[in-house]
A and B are shown apart, each in its own frame.
Chain A
Amino acid sequence: MPDVGVVEVGATWAPAAVAVVAGLAVAASALDGALAARSAGRPARTGLSAPLDETARLLRQRRRVTVAADSALWRAGGGGLLVAALLMVVVVPLGRFTLADLPVGIVWFNAMDVVVWAAVWLAGWGPNSAHALVAGYRFLALALAYELPLMFALTAPAVAAGSLRVGEVAASQDGWWYVVQMPVAFLVFCGGVVAFSVWGPFSVPAGADVAGGILTELSGVDRLLVQAGRYALMVAGSAFAVPLFLGGGAGPLMPGWAWVLVKTALLLAVLVALRRRLPALPPDRFAEVGWLVLLPLTLLQVLVVAVLAVGRG
């Protein structure tokens, strides 16, 4: 039980955190490759090498350049996804250990997921290409619909724990995980993670109907960065759900850090698998769903949580 509080480890552990995120991102990509191979009628194991194949292919590919591209903004956008994901995991406690035990860790995560808005739009704007630009706008339209429900979903565990400190939120769910107490907030949070990773139902900014959208003109290492960034964002989001909704490092037999990794991996696998189960949501349709359905639902969820918190004293 993580009731001893959270220990801040030094910045020398940051490369280890990067390695863990990278490992999980590669695993997610391999799982997606396996699922893709299976749905194409091949044995699933033939798709497991997808991340390696794709990395090798992209690293050898020559960079394609478009006319009058704004390279500075384009690169900033492409690299920004990975940077935002890595900054997100800074506040996620791995059992008892965390890189930064910020008193406002939840707001930190929220600020980083807003950085994704800028990054995706810039990735769409940079190449000076119509399809990519359309995709950038599509993402912002989706973002305006998913962000407020996501913010209230993040508020719910903070209200229940009476703290914005991620470690305290994890420690406050003693045998009574917040996913049970606030299922709506958990589902909306997962939706938000899928959305800011431009994945599954929220993948229209990278959709085939706009020739790959933000990915249209990306090639070589730039494309590798964006794809890695999308997987890393999904890893960071899954990892953040663990202290917020899934009891942090709580669990029998294994130490806290192992449970955090297991829970992260399980949630990540579910999110990756969703891609082939759900249809893509056009932004114009989702706007109304976000504002008329999800936002009131999350507000009600926060109300219920707040009443329970007041009742507990």
Chain B
Amino acid sequence: MLSDLVFWGLAVVAVLSGAYVFRVDSMARATYALAVSFVAVGAALLLMRLDYVGLVTVLMMVMEMAVMAVYMVMFMGMNPALMPMSMVHGNRTAVAAAVTVFVVLGGGVLLVDWPARRGVPAPDTVAALGEALMGSKMLVMMAISPVMIATMVAGIALAAPRGRYDRFGDDLRERASDPQPGGVGR
């Protein structure tokens, strides 16, 4: 009973703060309203005894939103800090898409004949989830991770305005000439 109430409370907080993202006129408020929404979702996951998944959701999303606020403020010209700006664009399409998705999903919830539960939850849901995600796919994961790391490194190398040839000269033997000195004295 109590956990039902807490769940519904969290659900309302998650939806309302999610909607608030589009109502405010400040980038910082929009970002942190989204963070609150994610924290409520993470707390709902905790209620389902998915401790690890719930906490990692909170951890990653708060960190992500903290960094996102920086980028949003940085890229949205005209200093949204001082100048209120609308958080919506492409209004009609967005509203139509949102209503359609809501009707389809909500209709699905009401119309589908839900099966009765077979079996019981695993004693350790997190381990079960990990098994389901990784157990038979371990080889794929092992192959994908170096590719992902290589992609990230390549992306950064391509995006960096100054590569090592700029810093150390053509034969990579000069002392680094950096506009901003690093902390380890290279």
Contacts and interface: CB of A to CB of B under 8 A. Distances in A.
Contact of A111 (B59, B82, B186): B59
B152 interface: no
B168 interface: no
Given A102-B51, A110-B59, A114-B62, A292 B32 contact: no
A289 interface: yes
A202 to B, nearest CB: 13
B157 interface: no
A12 to B, nearest CB: 16
B10 interface: no
A288 B183 contact: yes
Given A73-B28, A107-B56, A111-B59, A286 B51 contact: no
Interface residues of B, number: 27
Contacts of B70: 121, 137, 140
Contacts of A137: 70
Interface in B110-163: 126
B63 interface: yes
Chain A contact surface mostly: helix
B67 A140 contact: yes
Interface in A104-122: 104, 107-108, 110-111, 114-115, 117-118, 121-122
A59 interface: no
Contacts of A73: 28-29, 32
B55 A117 contact: no
B63 A117 contact: yes
B180 interface: yes
A208 to B, nearest CB: 21
A312 interface: no
A104 B180 contact: no
B57 to A, nearest CB: 9
A70 B55 contact: no
A104 B29 contact: no
Interface string A1-15: 000000000000000
A285 interface: yes
Given A70-B26, A102-B51, A118 B183 contact: no
A263 B51 CA distance: 29
B182 A285 contact: yes
Contact of A122 (B32, B51, B182): B32
A128 interface: yes
A118 B62 contact: yes
Contacts of B26: 70
Contacts of A121: 66, 69-70
A104 B26 CA distance: 35
Contact of A70 (B28, B51, B59): B28
A108 B183 contact: no
Contacts of A128: 81-82
A16 interface: no
Given A118-B32, A125-B28, A285-B181, 15 more contacts: A73-B28, A104-B52, A104-B126, A107-B56, A108-B55, A111-B55, A114-B58, A114-B62, A118-B65, A144-B67, A164-B52, A285-B182, A288-B182, A288-B186, A289-B184
Interface of A: 68, 70, 72-73, 76, 102-104, 107-108, 110-111, 114-115, 117-118, 121-122, 125, 128, 133, 137, 140, 143-144, 147, 164, 281, 284-289, 292-293
Interface of B: 26, 28-29, 32, 35, 51-52, 55-56, 58-59, 62-63, 65-67, 69-70, 81-82, 126, 180-184, 186
Q: 9 tightest A-B contacts by CB? A: A285-B183, A288-B182, A111-B59, A288-B183, A117-B66, A289-B183, A107-B55, A104-B51, A111-B58
24 contacts: A70-B29, A73-B32, A103-B51, A104-B52, A104-B126, A107-B51, A107-B55, A108-B55, A111-B62, A118-B65, A118-B66, A121-B66, A122-B28, A125-B28, A128-B81, A128-B82, A137-B70, A143-B66, A281-B183, A284-B182, A288-B182, A288-B183, A289-B183, A292-B182
